[in-house]
């Protein structure tokens, strides 16, 4: 890792390789909640929702749920891309 590169290094590498958007996490996440998060996120994409809205809506669902309302479960997910 180059100094100053931070969390942008990996998404940038994916972009250079041809990937336009990357959903990543800012810290280590838990398996169960991440599985649920990705299922909900990709269901929204399959339904025609754009990536930014799908991420926002999935985070809101988690925030409004009893089980996953803590930021630990929804805050680490970020979307990099164009």
Which tens digits make up the pLDDT trace of 57-76?
A: 999 999 999 999 999 999 99
Domain extent for 69: 6-81
Rounded-to-integer distance, Cα 8 and Cα 15, Å? 10
Expressed in angstroms, the distance from the first to the final Cα of the chain is: 23
Evaluate whether 35 touches 3 at the Cβ level (below 8 Å): no
Read off the pLDDT band of 78 (50, 70, 90). very high
Q: Considering the domain boundaries, does residue 1 fall inside one?
A: no
Answer yes or no: is 31 within a domain.
yes
User: In whole angstroms, what is the distance from residue 82 CA to residue 75 CA?
Assistant: 20
Q: How far apart are CA 77 and CA 47, in angstroms?
A: 20
21: which strand partners? 81
Quick one: pLDDT at residue 10?
A: 77
The domain total for the chain is 1
């Amino acid at each position: 890792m180059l100094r100053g590169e931070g969390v942008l290094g990996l998404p940038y590498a994916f972009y250079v390789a041809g990937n336009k958007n990357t959903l990543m996490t800012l810290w280590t996440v838990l398996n169960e909640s991440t599985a649920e998060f990705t299922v909900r996120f990709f269901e929204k994409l399959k339904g025609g929702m754009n990536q930014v809205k799908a991420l926002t809506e999935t985070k809101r669902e988690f925030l409004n749920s009893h089980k996953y309302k803590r930021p630990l479960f929804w805050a680490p997910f970020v979307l990099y891309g164009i």
